[in-house]
Each structure stands twice: as structure tokens, then as C-alpha cells.
Amino acid sequence: MGVPILSIEDLCVEFRTPEGTVRAVDGISYTVEPGETLGIAGESGSGKSVSLLSILGLVPQPPGRIVRGRAIFGGQDLLRASRKKLRAIRGRDIAMVFQDPMTSLNPVFRVGDQIAEAIEVHRPAASRQEVRRRTVELMDLVGLPDPVRRYRDYPHQLSGGMRQRAMIAMAIANAPALLIADEPTTALDVTIQRQVLDVLKLARDQTHAATILITHDLGLIAEMADRVMVMYAGRVAEAGPVEAIFHRPRHPYTVGLMASRPRLDVSQDTLTPIPGQPPSLIKVPPGCAFHPRCFLYGGHYGGRARCVENRPDLRLVDGAQHLAACHYAEELRDG
Amino acid sequence: MADPEVTLRTEGLVKHFPIHAGLLRRQVGTVRAVDGVDIEVRRGETLGVVGESGCGKSTLARTILRLVEPTAGRIVFNGQDITHLPSRQLRAVREHLRIVFQDPFASLNPRMTVAEIVGEPLRLHRRSPRASSGRPVRDLLEIVGLNPEHTNRYPHEFSGGQRQRIAIARALALDPQVLVLDEPVSALDVSIQAQIINLLSQVQDRLGLTYVFISHDLSVVRHICDRIAVMYLGKVVETGSRDRIFGAPTHPYTQALLSAAPIDDPSERGRRVPLALVGDVPNPANPPSGCRFRTRCWKAVDRCAVEEPALVDRGLGHPSACHFAGYRPAAPLGEPGDGVSVPETLP
């Protein structure tokens, strides 16, 4: 443990919608250490993407609004940095890979030129040959076959997996300190997903970048993350080392997620789904947002008042580094 | 004579889509989406059809229902050849053969109430003059776990999982025998996915349904299907029971597909050596000669380019369309030097 690369404190992000103001991210705090991979898991609407887009200045305001919080990166607060400063940081110190490479690449420019641009913008002094050489090198690294020829291709000439490789090349072009991958393989087929995942690991290992992997796919988390943060309704439900989260979950939501996923490695007779629906952010349940779906709340027996009245804080539950936001986390045993 | 247990069968089913281009819209090529598929679905079972995008699994689903007309081959339902059935008779068949689509946001008309959506098949097939207010709709909602009081609500008032329940209720309205489920849980969040999977199992048991389950998600297929057909570029490359396909796959593509899936548990890290497939799926308008998988296959030799492997059992217990079908050595999977070349790094 050293100085964190990124330290987020009490971040709150709201959106104004026709139905009212929704709090997409509701007071989350976490750090990312150098070289580690933090997996952020959660279902749609849990706030996992917004929490990162907002610190990069990528949430349009309005309708979005950063209510409070700090995001310390390299000694400065990103939430208070100027647009110009943020632009310099994005793509150089913090790089991103998004889910859909077709919308992230500009369809009218050549793929090679777009990767080259990512280098040039942040290194204006570099000569043309230098930039071109580096571009081809990057394309080669991410496994774009025949990079010299591929340089001249347009995005539509590449397959989904190839486009995602180009995005990764662009992301690591300036050896970022932090790589944010938001559902990087969700749009891809299994065999292509495997290729991209391997490239992503390679990119991470080559640049020694700290990585934040945002995904709904627990398999990707199992595969890549050192530490995991599980989000629910804009808050952190549980956080801890990957082994602990998978083998000793201490939040009923995490327990539910693990029990509800079908597995490839074993035959199961039944899945145990989480009852109910994720809450609408317009009307988040009081107290613990998860209580209406929770087996520890005990709705059948009238329910525990504490779950409805008090919002549980994230607290240490199972040795160092393992945190859960549940009043009754101690009732969960290893299973 | 046909096996009476077989509810649905396709024989050499082919669906080609013409590609038109230029000012005169002349046909310049053909996408061979489904290119000679034989499947059999037995009464009460769930047949899984797995494959990656572009393998033809969704086109197969639509062709079985004749939502798109087959180019060649036969579709046999309950012993009756429905391939060329005129529309009036096809309508009668479709009462027993229904489909559920992937996206419950696109498949439900936003201007219709739940009662109208679920009751529409009854109305169209003239089963009940007062279907939208009668009992069947409430029963159907109850079967799929929705509140029967919600008949007058509109789709936008429901979450994704609930909408998929509405779509399932609609599919059940005419008391069908077979449901074709085209990626029915792929658009849903994990916790909701499990609810719908369990619902489908319960409904199947309760109503004695037969399912054709189309999916790209191997773990979902493993959970829900009795038998599985693996598709690649318009062809079935391997078929067998769930235990065979997941426990002892013999086609290189099936093996690669299974090994490529993300691990389930962090403790498996490094224990599984994935068979990294090189390159992308070829263009279905111009598939490779011979075996279509050969361009990505580590076992491919000259013979694979000229001789198309038949989908037959080569003494391994279930059919596999590979000249060199064989089990992958047991764990640790694919040690280098066992005949399976495992790339150390990326191509």
C-alpha cells in the first residue's frame, strides 16, 4: 500500500429528470492503488459508470450535477480542475476504453490516424515519423494484424473485436497511470471477448497502469480484479479483495448475485434469484436501499426496523480491507 | 416412420439472404445465414442452440416459425411438413409454435395495455370474443408471476424483467406446445435473469412445454438445456446432451468456445489454459470451402479445405462435424505438446 493513484471521497452525483431529481451516485468513497485492478460490479442503474464519468468531466451538466465530493488524482481535485486541465489529463494520465467501439471511433478518419492523434495531442513535440512508428508499434502490441496496412483502414472495415483493440491501443498510447475500462467486452462474442480480455491484460501489464474495470459480468471480475467494489442504487454495498468477495460475501446483495448466476464450471439444479426488482432511483427505499429484496430484513415476519430506519454505513466486517454496508453482515457465514 | 417423440424437426434447412447492390439493385451475393441444418426437438425437452453472432441461430429460430421463408429444406412439426403450408393452415400451426424475442422493450407495443398485449393472440386466433377482459389474461399473468391487477398498465410501467414476463405470458396465450426462445434473458441484469430462467423452468414443468432455447450465453444454456446444438457460420458443428457438450466436447470450435468463456471464480485463475482462437468469424456471404471453421482451427490440414466434414458420430458418443473430432485432454486443459497448440501470447 502506498499513495493511492485515485482517491474518491464522498462523491454525490445527481441528474434532473422529468420525474424528479435522481441521485445516481450517493456518497461513495474509494481509492485505487498503483498497479492494482479494481473491479466495480453492479447492475444497470447502480451508478458504476456515472461515478467515473463524473470525475472525468464527462457527465453533461445540466442535467447532471456533482453535488459534493472530491476526486484526488496526482495531488489535485479533478472535480475542481478546469476543463483545459481535465482535457490534458484525459487520454494522457487517465485513459478510457468504452463498451461500444463503433461510437467511440470517428467513422470518417482512418484508424491509424486516430491512434496517432491520441499520441500527438499529448506530445506535440514528437515528429511525424516518431508518432507513426509508435502507432504501428501500438497496433502490433494489441494484435491488429498487418498494422502497416491496417493503419489506412476506416473503423467500418474492422470487426468489433478489432475496433476494441484499436481503442485499447489508443488508451495505452501515452502510458496512462490509470486505465478505466467500462464494460470493455460486453458487446463482443465469447471468443473475441477472450482475445480482447487478453489484450487488456497485456496492456495493463505493459503499462503497469492501475485499472478500474466496470462491468456487470462477475466472470470478468473473477478473471481480472484484485479488489472488488459492488454497487447498488448509487452506493457501495460491499468492497474487498476478490477472493473474499467471491468466497466470503458479507452483503446480502452480493450473496444474492453469486447465487443467481448460472455457472459454466458446475451443473446446478436451481438458481436462487434475488426477489423483486432493482429500485427506481426516483424512489429509493428508505434506510438500506436493498431491504425490500433482502433475506436478512425478513419482510415475511414484519421486517427489522433498523433496515428501514437507518442507512447502513460501509464498515469493516471480515478482516482488513473487507467492507460491507449491512447492519447484519455478521449473520452471513461462509457457504 | 418418424419418431413420435420428436415434436419439431428440420431437415437440411437452408436460409439464404440475397445481397443487392448498385443502381439496379442487382443481386451480387448471398448471405448463407442457415446452410443445411438438421435438428430434432423431442417432446418436453429443451434444445439449446448456441453460437456467436452471425452463426445463424436467430435466423434458424425465425425460419422454424416461417417468419422468414426457408430457401430449401423441410420443417416438420408433429409429423406434418409445414415448409410450404399456406398461410391459413400455417396460422393453425402457429397456435402451437410460439416465439419469445430477446428485447422486451422492442417486442411489446407501447400503446397497448398488458391485457391487450397478452390477449392479442387470443383475439387474432378468435379464441375468445372478450379475451382482453376475460379470465385467460389474468390466469396468464398469474402463471408468469405478474400481478393480475395490472392488466390496464402499459409496458413502460414495467421493468425489463417484468416486460419479459409479459412477453412470455403472450406466448403462452394459445396454450402452445413449443416455445422458441430467442435470447430471452440476454437483455436482463443478472439478478433478474435468474428469475426469468427459473420462471421458464417452472412454466415448462407446469404446462409440459418443449423449448428451443437460442443463446450465446454458455452458462445459461448449460443451466437450462437438456440437449445442445452448437452452430458456426450457418451449420451445426456438434450436437449432444448437455453433459456430452459441456463435459466431453469433441469439435475444436466447441472446445474453444467453452475455454474462452470467463472463469466463474477467482480461484480458477491460471488453472484453465484457454484455446485462443485466432481472428474473427469469416463473412457468411463468403464462407471458407470445406470445413467452415478451418480458418481458425489449430487442427486444420489440407483435407479440411476440400472435404466438408459431416455431422456424424465418429465413435465418440455424439455427432461432431470434424474430420479430427476428439476429446480435449482432461485438466489441466491443453498442456502444450499434447497436440493442441496453445498460443503462449497473442497472435
What integer pLDDT is reported at residue B1 of this predicted model?
47
Query: In the predicted model, what is the mean pLDDT of residues B309-313?
Result: 94
Residue A241 has pLDDT above 90, yes or no: yes
What's chain A's Rg over C-alpha atoms? Answer: 21
A82 close to B (CB below 8 A)? no
Closest in B189, B281, B347 to A43, CB measured: B189
d(CA B32, CA B308): 16
Instruction: Find, in chain B, the residue whose alpha carbon is nearest to that of A198.
Output: B346
What integer pLDDT is reported at residue B82 of this predicted model?
94
C-alpha cell belonging to residue B189? 441484469
CB pairs under 8 A between A and B: 144
Banded pLDDT at B347 (limits 50, 70, 90)? very low
B195 close to A (CB below 8 A)? yes
What integer pLDDT is reported at residue A276 of this predicted model?
86
Instruction: Find, in chain B, the residue whose alpha carbon is nearest to that of A220.
Output: B262
Banded pLDDT at B121 (limits 50, 70, 90)? confident
For chain B, percent of residues with pLDDT exceeding 70? 90
Q: Tell me the pLDDT of chain A averaged across its residues.
A: 88
- Using alpha carbons, select from A184, A276, A217, A246 the residue that is nearest to residue A43: A217
Query: In the predicted model, what is the mean pLDDT of residues B240-262?
Result: 91
Q: Are A190 and B218 inside 8 Å of each other by CB?
A: yes
What integer pLDDT is reported at residue B345 of this predicted model?
35
Q: Pairing state of beta strands A20-32 and A6-17?
A: antiparallel
Query: In the predicted model, what is the mean pLDDT of residues B29-33?
Result: 89
Instruction: Find, in chain B, the residue whose alpha carbon is nearest to that of A274.
Output: B191
**Who wins on pLDDT, B335 or A279?**
A279
What integer pLDDT is reported at residue B71 of this predicted model?
94
Which of B110-124, B292-306, B329-343 is least confident?
Answer: B329-343
Residue A276, classified by CB atoms within 10 Å of its CB into exposed (0-12), middle (13-18) or buried (19+), is middle
Banded pLDDT at A75 (limits 50, 70, 90)? confident
Residue A88 has pLDDT above 60, yes or no: yes
Q: Are A143 and B195 inside 8 Å of each other by CB?
A: no
Q: Which residues of B touch A263 (CB under 8 A)?
A: 219, 222-223, 264
Banded pLDDT at B229 (limits 50, 70, 90)? very high
Task: Decide if B53 contacts B234 (C-beta within 8 A).
Answer: no
Banded pLDDT at B24 (limits 50, 70, 90)? confident
- Using alpha carbons, select from A8, A178, A29 the residue that is nearest to residue A77: A8
Which of A51-60, A86-95, A97-106, B242-251 is least confident?
Answer: A97-106
d(CA A175, CA A145): 22
200-239 in A: which are within 8 Å (CB) of B?
202, 216-223, 225
* Span B146-192, pLDDT tens digits: 888 888 899 988 888 899 999 999 999 888 999 999 999 988 888 88
d(CA A176, CA A33): 14
Is the predicted ipTM greater than 0.85, yes or no?
A: no
Interface test with B, best of A46, A271, A282 (most B CBs within 10 A): A271
* Span A113-124, pLDDT tens digits: 999 998 888 888
SS3 A266: coil
Residue B131 has pLDDT above 50, yes or no: no
Query: In the predicted model, what is the mean pLDDT of residues A107-131?
Result: 88
Which of A49-63, B77-91, B177-191, B270-284 is least confident?
Answer: B270-284
What integer pLDDT is reported at residue B127 of this predicted model?
63
Banded pLDDT at B329 (limits 50, 70, 90)? low
d(CA B199, CA B220): 13
CA atoms within 13 A on the CB side of A307: 20
What integer pLDDT is reported at residue B343 of this predicted model?
38
B202 close to A (CB below 8 A)? no
A273 close to B (CB below 8 A)? yes
Using alpha carbons, list the distances in angstroms from residue B241 to A157, A321, B38, B193, B230. Answer: 39, 44, 16, 23, 11
Q: Are B269 and A270 inside 8 Å of each other by CB?
A: no
- According to DSSP, residue A225 is labeled -
A123 close to B (CB below 8 A)? no
d(CA A273, CA B231): 29
What integer pLDDT is reported at residue A147 of this predicted model?
86
What integer pLDDT is reported at residue A335 of this predicted model?
52
Q: Which residues of A touch B190 (CB under 8 A)?
A: 43, 216, 218, 257, 260-261
18-47 in B: which are within 8 Å (CB) of A?
none
What integer pLDDT is reported at residue A304 of this predicted model?
87
Interface test with A, best of B57, B158, B189, B222 (most A CBs within 10 A): B189
Every domain of chain A and the residues it spans? 1-90+226-335
* Span A247-271, pLDDT tens digits: 999 999 999 999 898 888 777 778 8
Task: Decide if B97 contacts B32 (C-beta within 8 A).
Answer: no
* Span A284-297, pLDDT tens digits: 899 999 999 999 99
B270 close to A (CB below 8 A)? no
C-alpha cell belonging to residue A70? 472530491
Backbone φ, ψ for residue B97 (5° rounding):
-135, 105
What's the pTM value of the predicted model, to 2 decimals?
Answer: 0.86
Task: Decide if B65 contacts B91 (C-beta within 8 A).
Answer: no
What integer pLDDT is reported at residue B12 of this predicted model?
94
C-alpha cell belonging to residue A249? 460475501
Domain A1-90+226-335, second-level architecture:
3-Layer(aba) Sandwich (3.40)
* Span A178-232, pLDDT tens digits: 999 998 888 778 888 888 888 888 888 888 889 999 998 899 999 999 999 999 9
Banded pLDDT at B341 (limits 50, 70, 90)? very low
Tell me the β-bridge partners of A20.
A17
Query: In the predicted model, what is the mean pLDDT of residues A95-116?
Result: 85
For chain A, percent of residues with pLDDT exceeding 70? 98
C-alpha cell belonging to residue A203? 496492456
What integer pLDDT is reported at residue A11 of this predicted model?
94
Task: Decide if B31 contacts B16 (C-beta within 8 A).
Answer: yes
- According to DSSP, residue B266 is labeled G
Q: Are A219 and B162 inside 8 Å of each other by CB?
A: no
Query: In the predicted model, what is the mean pLDDT of residues B193-199?
Result: 92
Mark out the alpha helices in chain B (DSSP H runs). 57-64, 87-94, 114-124, 135-143, 160-172, 190-207, 218-224, 242-247, 252-260, 302-306
Q: Pairing state of beta strands A315-316 and A323-324?
A: antiparallel
What integer pLDDT is reported at residue B323 of this predicted model?
94
